[in-house]
Structure 1
Amino acid sequence: MTPSPTLLDAALTAATRGWRVHPLRPGGKASALHGERACPHIGECAADHVKWEQRATTDPDRIRAAWTAGTFNVGIAPGPSGLVVIDLDVPKEEKRKGSSAAPDGATSFSALCERAEVPWPTTYTVRTPSGGLHLYFATPPDIRLHSTARTVAPNMDTRAWGGNVVAAGSSTPQGAYIVTDDVPAAVLPTWLLHHLQTPPPPIVAAAPLLIPGQATRRATAALERETAAVRGTSEGGRNNRLLAGARSLGRFVAWGEIPRDAVEEAFQAAGETAGLPTAECRTTIRSALDWSIRTCRPREAV
């Protein structure tokens, strides 16, 4: 199979910058490498499963071999690459209606810059298909940051250890990832590092549950307990913890004690805060809830 020059060049270009890359599914954002459940336990995984973050590489021979095998999108593993990428998103309402009324990630980031009394930083920048921006920053060698989801500012996520970034040159059905500022990644400013190191609030995405009549007290308490456990789980057990937590809440959804969308939203935020990819969180949560709702006993039998 003839490789796509655009995607192969994109992977090699990123690797030249010292950024570790890995293949994503063609036209998608998820890793094309096998997951833990499908691990054949051979080659690099002979002793134990090696995740995509550890398999990401700057080796040009490995890159050519991978992108010769298929037209894969290009993923960057920010943590091992010494990067943190600020993801400034566009609200869903704005994407759908073309409205500028809702605050977007760029507006949130501008506000942070104004409070710090600094200009918008000049750094390597990529525009996403949705109209958002990815700002790349180099992290100090003694700093280890983890990915966050809207804990710093509205519609502003970060991708660091545990996170994945779609590289420029890749594309999805919504459009292409395009470099808008082709300069070296600036060193992460101290003022921004302070925001990223500030612990998030103890309860993430629990606000919808505070609306009277939407959830029983015990369902709310269970959701807060389980999402907190997901956020506090370290790499290696995050997906399993997310699966177990969502399964434990399925019975309350089946019994009508809490809306399903509230459960999905809370676990999605908790999973992303723990560093899990967005798509992986969504798939795990839906599967867990479907199973739990289908198999739970009637409330009267408990």
Structure 2
Amino acid sequence: MTHDAHSALLHAALDAAERGWHVFPLRPGTKRPALHGEQRCPGTGPCASGHRKWEQRATTDPDRIRATWARAPFNVGIATGPSGLLVVDLDVPKDHSSSDTPDGATTFAALCERAGHAVPATYRTRTASGGEHLYFTAPPGVRLANTARTVAASVDTRAWGGYVVAAGSTTSTGPYEALCGPEAVAVPGWLLSILRPAPKVSEAPSVATMGQSRRYADVALAREAQTVAGAVHGGREAALFRAARALGRFVAWGDLSRHMVEQALQEAGEAAGLTVAECRSTLRSALNWSIAHNQRRRTA
């Protein structure tokens, strides 16, 4: 690698840090962290009081960045959680032989349109594989996690526990390049509604009989259906997704049948103005996720 290319990587790291984004080194030419793992931790330096992972060691300190990138032409990783970022990863289909499979950008644009908004003009990069990363600022006090296919197929997100490769980095597949948008804007409300952790059911008794639990589930179903039916344009699909994810736990626990939930929310979604297909697609993905993540009944 030439001296100019090495300098460009340092510049990319410093540029990200100037934006307030916490960076850490990736192995040259790859997407893998260059920091040592827990099994090989020397227990010295930053790890003197215990092993610190890449998310904890990511920094905006220009002196630390210069010292790190002086050692090797590291690619640049951005720890999304500490940076206060939510990055939407718009992937391209792995199987390029089928032209019928929409890519992540097309799917996300359709979701924005259905929510009544244009695709936000925010900072974005083109990935080495030809996809896109859309950078958004996460709201303070909300700890978002990584997701895979929660929003839609080919639309993943990176937040706490995740990272992205910064523009200016290059892998064997290709470069990461900044496309447009000088600044990252706030996460759209409709998207935040989908990604925000489902609220805990605080009203539920800590020890409930089967009859009490089912009565509570019936009340929750009626309330959620009423909320969805009253949702306004721009928030209807997000309200339906949120309701299905909240009610999916009762399906997993055996308090409600899936058919009952799907029928009630399908009718509510259509009453709010969503199409039959939009309701079915949203309900299927939201219920599948919620049922898979709520196999064990929580107690207070």
If the TM-score is normalised by the length of the shorter chain, which range does it land in?
0.5 to 0.7
Give the share of equivalent positions with the same residue, in percent. 60
CA drift of 1:125 comes to 0.5
Q: Determine helix, strand or coil for the equivalent of 1:172.
A: coil
Distance 2:49 2:74 in 1: 27
Distance 1:88 1:165 in 2: 12
CA drift of 1:58 comes to 0.4
Distance 2:197 2:62 in 1: 37
CA drift of 1:182 comes to 3.8
Match of 2:71 in 1: 69
Q: Deviations over 1:88-113 (max 9, x none)?
A: 0001112xx4x532111112211210
User: In structure 1, what residue type is equivalent to 2:39?
Assistant: R
For normalisation by structure 1, the TM-score amounts to 0.64
Distance 1:196 1:46 in 2: 36
Distance 1:65 1:182 in 2: 30
Query: In structure 2, do the counterparts of structure 1 residues 50 and 198 end up closer, same or farther at CA, with 3 Å as the change threshold?
Result: closer
Report whether the alignment pairs 1:84 with 2:83: no
User: In structure 1, what residue type is equivalent to 2:121?
Assistant: T
Match of 1:180 in 2: 179
Is the radius of gyration larger for structure 1 or structure 2?
2
Between 61-70 and 40-49, the greater mean CA deviation after superposition: 40-49
Distance 1:59 1:132 in 2: 30
Distance 1:103 1:189 in 2: 22
Match of 2:106 in 1: 107
Match of 2:230 in 1: none
RMSD: 2.4
Distance 1:100 1:19 in 2: 36
Distance 1:173 1:228 in 2: 36
Match of 1:219 in 2: none
Question: Please, which runs of 5 or more residues in structure 2 have no aligned partner?
Answer: 199-244, 250-291, 295-300
Distance 1:112 1:186 in 2: 18
User: In structure 1, what residue type is equivalent to 2:157?
Assistant: T
Does the aligned pair in 1 maintain the 2:121–2:181 contact within 8 Å? no
Distance 1:147 1:130 in 2: 20
Q: Determine helix, strand or coil for the equivalent of 1:91.
A: coil
Match of 1:170 in 2: 169
Match of 1:10 in 2: 12
Distance 1:30 1:48 in 2: 22
Q: Determine helix, strand or coil for the equivalent of 1:84.
A: strand
Q: Determine helix, strand or coil for the equivalent of 1:126.
A: strand
Match of 1:122 in 2: 121
Q: Determine helix, strand or coil for the equivalent of 1:183.
A: coil
Q: Determine helix, strand or coil for the equivalent of 2:40.
A: coil
Report whether the alignment pairs 1:25 with 2:24: no
Question: Please, which runs of 5 or more residues in structure 1 have no aligned partner?
Answer: 203-226, 230-302
CA drift of 1:150 comes to 1.1
Q: Deviations over 1:260-281 (max 9, x none)?
A: xxxxxxxxxxxxxxxxxxxxxx
Q: Deviations over 1:113-149 (max 9, x none)?
A: 0111100100000001111000000011111101111
Distance 2:61 2:20 in 1: 10
CA drift of 1:159 comes to 0.5
Match of 2:154 in 1: 155
For normalisation by structure 2, the TM-score amounts to 0.64
Q: Deviations over 1:147-196 (max 9, x none)?
A: 11111100111000000100000011110000001410001111110111
Distance 1:55 1:149 in 2: 25
Q: Deviations over 1:38-57 (max 9, x none)?
A: 11111111111111101000
User: In structure 1, what residue type is equivalent to 2:102?
Assistant: P
How many residue pairs match? The answer is: 205
Moved over 3 A (4+): 198-202
Distance 2:168 2:7 in 1: 10
Report whether the alignment pairs 1:50 with 2:61: no
Distance 1:68 1:17 in 2: 21
